[in-house]
Amino acid sequence: MRTLRHVPTGLALVPALVLALAACGQTEEGGSRTLPEPTGSWAVESLTTGGRTLHAPGTARLDLAEHEATGNYGCNGFKAAVAFAGTSAVTVTPGATTAMACENMEFETEFAKLFKGRLTIDRGPDRLTLKTADGSTIAMTPKPPDADAPLTVTQWTVDSLISGASVSSVPAEAAGKAWFTLAADGAASGVLGCNRFSAKAAVEGATLTFGPVTSTRMACEGPAGEVERTLTELFGSGPLTWEIQGQALTLTAADGKGLTAKAASAAE
């Protein structure tokens, strides 16, 4: 006859408790995974609003830091102030945005409408969802941050002009015509809008200063001429604060005027 051995109740519960805790930390594939923190770089997958699902273009992203958010609606870039309530909610105050005419403006407009005010945060094992008070959502997956392009030996194409809190895209007729590069030895060159230019430039910490600009002397009319005059004035205004995030460069003068430019290609 088999003898049943008595096991104390507390000890019998320990293996079951260990198994239960282990199961909570595993995915269906059996690997453990922790819930993501809200801060970080996110690729926007889709929006749900008004009973519709809008799928994001591949360039839509959101970078969440402790007090600031930056990102791209799909074509236009934006900034916002954020205030987290732990990991369960965030309050968004929209800031500056570019104003380019883009192909998928429906998605951009809805993204901008949803990403403001108080949003609750749903943290899944491999995604983050922001929810508005009416139940609309912004669904995102983790995205490694883009490596910053180098300031020098990069061709920068001017895509917008800054005037204080206002950021305006370069007029369509002048798009892609203004660009510049900074060589490792400090030589700057490029096109201001229609005339080619060259200058010496000096980088000291977070400031970039252009010396006297020498350029060709073609008569420049229309939007390209307006961009050229703006850039000529900016480059001659003294030290410019520079900042690079991913493939985007921002130059800002002391009076709040400036530009944004995208890394087009490495300069030869």
Q: How far apart are CA 204 and CA 11, in angstroms?
A: 67
Residue 6, pLDDT above cutoff 80: no
Region of 52 (left: φ > 0; alpha: ψ -120 to 50; beta: rest) is: beta
Question: Which residue has better confidence, 263 or 92?
Answer: 92
* pLDDT for the residue numbered 35: 62
> Which residue from 170, 208, 215, 210 is spatially nearest to 194, judged by alpha carbons?
215
pLDDT more than 90, % of the chain: 60
Residue 196, pLDDT above cutoff 90: yes
Asked whether 65 and 96 are in contact (CB, 8 A), the reply is no
Residue 63, pLDDT above cutoff 70: yes
What mean pLDDT is predicted for residues 64-71? 92
Angle at 253 between CA 249 and CA 256, to 5 degrees: 100
Amino acid in the structure at residue 258: G
pTM of the model: 0.54
What are the beta bridge partners of residue 40? Answer: 64
Q: Which two tokens stand for residue 253?
A: 């003068």
How far are the Cα atoms of 14, 62, 70, 197 from residue 66, in angstroms, in the given order?
A: 40, 13, 11, 41
